[in-house]
Amino acid sequence: MLNQFSLPETPGQTKQERLEQVADQVLENLPLPVKLLAGNSINSFRQALHFEDFDEQIDNGLEKLKEVIDYVQYGTYPGE
């Protein structure tokens, strides 16, 4: 799946738009069995991206993702 993923040529104007671009691409490239299992959750996720004041939640999610990447890549925990 990741080998089919590429960043959009034209970035969205806001964090929210850029997250939507990335999320759409990830969701489109999910294997069919995963899409079927996810069902309505995919639609709920897409709707959640349209809430106002979503930037803080995006920032929090990105920080958590950075922690996970550091853990996997370097074996470090947050704050080390």
Indicate whether 44 and 57 sit together in one domain: no
Model pTM above 0.85 = no
Question: What are the structure tokens assigned to 12, written together?
Answer: 């969205």
| Contact predicate 58/28, CB 8 Å | no
pLDDT category at 10 given cuts 50, 70, 90 is very high
Q: Which residue's structure tokens are 């079927």?
A: 36
Do 29 and 7 lie in a common domain? yes
pLDDT at res. 5: 77
> By residue range, what is the domain housing residue 40?
1-49
45, 25: one domain: yes
1 and 35 fall within a common domain: yes
Same domain, 43 and 12: yes
Mean pLDDT of the chain: 83
Summarised one tens digit per residue, pLDDT across range 28-50 is: 888 889 888 888 888 887 777 77
**Number of domains making up the chain:** 2
